Amino acid sequence: MASFCTNCGNRLEQSTKFCTGCGADTSVVDSVASAVQLPSSAVAEPRQGGHRLFKTVLVLLALIILLVMGSCAYVGYRAKKKLDKIKQGFESPPSNQASQSAGGSREDKRAGQERSGSATGNLGNMLGALAGAIGGKSAPPPSYPAWNPTDPITRIPLREGLVVVASHHLADGDRESIDRIDSDKPQAIGIAFSEDSQTPSGGEARQSRAAHRTVLRKDLRDSHQWMQSIHSGDPDMFPGTTAISISSEVLNDLKQKSEASFSRRASTLETIVSISTSSDTSLENSKKNAKAATDDSDFAKCTLTKVGKVDVAFPVIVNDQRTQVPALHASCVSESAGLDLYFLDDPDNAILLGGAATGLLGLGERWQVIKISFPEQVPVPRIEQSLQQTGRAEVYGIYFDFGSDRIRSESEPVLREIAQTMNDNPSWKLTVEGHTDNMGGDSYNLDLSNRRAAAVKRALVIRYHIASDRLSPVGYGATRPKESNDTLEGRARNRRVELERQ
């Protein structure tokens, strides 16, 4: 039996009369110890029990941490699987059943036209634009004066060779699109589409893509379905829809009734939102929803309503001449987004001239047709006339990729006209001036404008055999703007080439 000091709890040896811890008399301790027998481990047990409790707490804490980490990993895994399914759906080729027509299918011919703008890339750009739209502010839409009915009207025919150049502004930067009528037949027209994009800080082009669409003339007369966006990978034809313009019937309804039934193709982002909110996460459903953006039955319906009582005077450059054309203003609000639109008031060619997308899914997008050109029945040598009369000529029909000196194929008619002017006036020498907007910085734009002016000279010398010593390229960057660089249309018009007689 072990004895303990009742004064301090120290263990006592049998031969000790006094406690070694506090000096107390052991006789008192022995009498207490004889009455209460204590096990030798009585003092140590509380310490061992506390140690076990501490270990238990540590184990439980570790289990909780592992559980939380496992839950996060599972959530991340599910999110990745969801995104993979969306990507798989967008990367899968769409059905080609709707692409057969009297003119034949063009998917195979057009399959190689897309250069770097895949559906997955578009998805990333759309999500990036969404983030930018949430975090930033978009410029207010422009206002236009009322059209004066006594003003002469510039007719814009829907014929082969018509080129419509539009600038677009999104939260992730400016874009420029070109629609060109490459075939004009009694049953249908063909539209070659190309688009080039720029980041807000300027620099090299982020994305370029190309596509094609065939539109039946019957649909241009009476269709109420609109597919303005031409996506690479789509079937060549969507019977029952229009593109780049609304039908004559829709325009006439707006003029006579002030409204028209209307449906438009849902945007890629709207489709993505519908996928992300769907409770069905199966692969088949993800593919089905992802392909909805290329399904001709997937349209957002609304009533297109005329805004104002009279047309507005819409500014546009037509065949390198600044002018105004009458435009009908209309709006359309669906469940996911709203549209504010301007159409050329011409039943034979109601081109979309400009507009804005409103609401969260609109992303603050705004677009405006800047330049229109078409072959005239009696060609007018405007560049030659301007050089003869003023010694200078503004040239808006030479198109470059954003941030690049690569000349786009739509520039050939104007290059050919400049070459003809030089051939008809063999004594002339010209300075070729390059001008840019102000995106990207002064030194960058100066270098870019020099390279573009040199590219124009190179094209005239190599392709049209103009003597090299008759052309002197020079770049001015953004130092000589024609309009404010604070607006979408101003930046677009400041990107130009000018010619000066030496």
Each residue's pLDDT tens digit, 260-300: 998 887 554 444 444 444 444 444 544 444 444 444 446 77
- Provide, rounded to the nearest whole percent, the portion of the chain with pLDDT above 70: 64
What's the confidence (pLDDT) of residue 8?
Answer: 65
One-letter amino acid at 315 equals P
Nearest to 166 by CA among 429, 444, 372: 372
List of domains in the chain: 3-35 (no CATH), 110-373 (no CATH), 382-501 (3.30.1330.60)
Nearest to 266 by CA among 288, 237, 291: 291
Banded model confidence at residue 337, pLDDT cuts 50, 70, 90: low
What's the confidence (pLDDT) of residue 129?
Answer: 45
Burial of 259 (0-12, 13-18, 19+ CB in 10 A): middle
What's the confidence (pLDDT) of residue 72?
Answer: 59
Q: Are 436 and 467 in contact (CB under 8 A)?
A: no
- Average pLDDT over the chain reads 75
The answer to whether the Cα torsion of 25, 27, 31, 34 is positive or negative is positive
The answer to whether the Cα torsion of 485, 401, 316, 394 is positive or negative is positive
pLDDT in tens, 161-184: 999 999 887 766 677 889 999 999
pLDDT at residue 110 tops 80:
no
**Rounded Cα gap, residues 425 and 239, in angstroms:** 50
Beta-bridged to residue 225, according to DSSP, are 241, 263
Task: Specify the higher pLDDT residue, 365 or 28.
Answer: 365
**Rounded Cα gap, residues 282 and 280, in angstroms:** 6
Distances in Å between the alpha carbon of 169 and those of 17, 141, 226, 368?
A: 99, 11, 21, 9
Which DSSP letter does residue 294 get?
G
pLDDT in tens, 214-271: 999 999 999 999 887 777 778 899 999 999 999 999 999 999 999 999 888 755 444 4
